[in-house]
Amino acid sequence: MATYTTRLRLEKQVTGENSNTWGTRLNTNVFSLVDTAIAGYTSVSLAGSTVTLSVENGSADSARSAMLELHGTLTSNVGVVIPSVSKQYLVRNATAGSFTVTIKAAGGTGTAVTQGTTGIVYCDGASVRASVGVPKYYAKFRNDKILIAPTPTSANDVELEYVVQPSAISASKQSNYFTNFCGNALFYGSMVEACLFNKNVTAAQVWQSYYENEVMLLMNEARRNRRDDMETVASPAGSGDTTRRDAP
């Protein structure tokens, strides 16, 4: 007879049981559910009444997910009831309406999640509490948002490093990132294309070497601007030689 773990409700295997099928049961009733518990997302629709997250042993449910997004237009104060076991959730309150949403365990004390904010709440097995303070964690959400936690208790400066596709050059836009900051590389690359168009392979090879060296210098300069790279003692970009071709 199957038994299940207390907090995540994963199926436990009994010695000698499920011959020839234990692999499928392990994948479905354990590994897939662990995946949900670590990185799963559940959308919870709210309006005028409390919602209790579903709880299932060895199968998919809404209470096992790591992230909860609360949405809908509230018509009264409502609650979201989670299982009375130790677990934490990253919660985003995207509801509308001037009412309160409280995350709580059955029979225990809850904590409100302010509309328009994202934060970590955790259950100690009886009560639900909020984790607030200086943000220490972040997660990409739906590819267009960044969630942070704990919920800030005051304004904080944030520094972001990101990759963006430069805007294209057109008749009305004569410059972009490449023309402003990578002029040599752009020129050398253009000369390569021009020489190949004129079937001057020898000259193209010369300009190609200039182009590759310039791109390498730009890459090393970018590495030098990364704090984590400069803190690595063995970093090729941290040495005095800015033209190392074996830099990762």
Residue 163 or 196, more confident: 196
Predicted local distance difference test score (pLDDT) of residue 234: 47
Question: Is residue 192's pLDDT more than 90?
Answer: yes
β-pairing, 78-82 vs 101-105, is parallel
What confidence tier does 240 reach under pLDDT thresholds 50, 70, 90? Answer: very low
Average pLDDT, the chain: 85
Residue 184 or 18, more confident: 184
What confidence tier does 16 reach under pLDDT thresholds 50, 70, 90? Answer: confident
| CA–CA dist 12, 30 (Å, integer) | 8
Question: Is residue 39's pLDDT more than 90?
Answer: yes
Predicted local distance difference test score (pLDDT) of residue 239: 46
Question: Is residue 132's pLDDT more than 60?
Answer: yes
What confidence tier does 93 reach under pLDDT thresholds 50, 70, 90? Answer: very high
Residue 152 or 207, more confident: 207
Predicted local distance difference test score (pLDDT) of residue 145: 79
pTM above 0.75, yes or no: no
Flag the least confident range among 10-14, 81-85, 188-192. Answer: 10-14
136-154 average pLDDT score: 76
Question: Is residue 36's pLDDT more than 90?
Answer: yes
145-168 average pLDDT score: 78
> From residue 107, how far is each of 71, 81, 128, 206, 211 by CA, in Å?
24, 10, 11, 76, 68
Predicted local distance difference test score (pLDDT) of residue 144: 77
CB under 8 Å to 79, separation ≥6 — which residues? 50, 51, 101, 102, 103, 104, 110
Predicted local distance difference test score (pLDDT) of residue 225: 67
Reported in sequence order, the residue ranges of 83-224 that DSSP labels E, i.e. its strands, are 86-93, 101-105, 111-112, 118-124, 128-131, 137-141, 145-149
pLDDT tens sequence across 217-231: 988 887 776 654 444
Contact (Cβ atoms closer than 8 angstroms) between residue 215 and residue 223: no
Give the three-state DSSP class for 141: strand
Flag the least confident range among 35-44, 101-110, 191-200, 218-227. Answer: 218-227
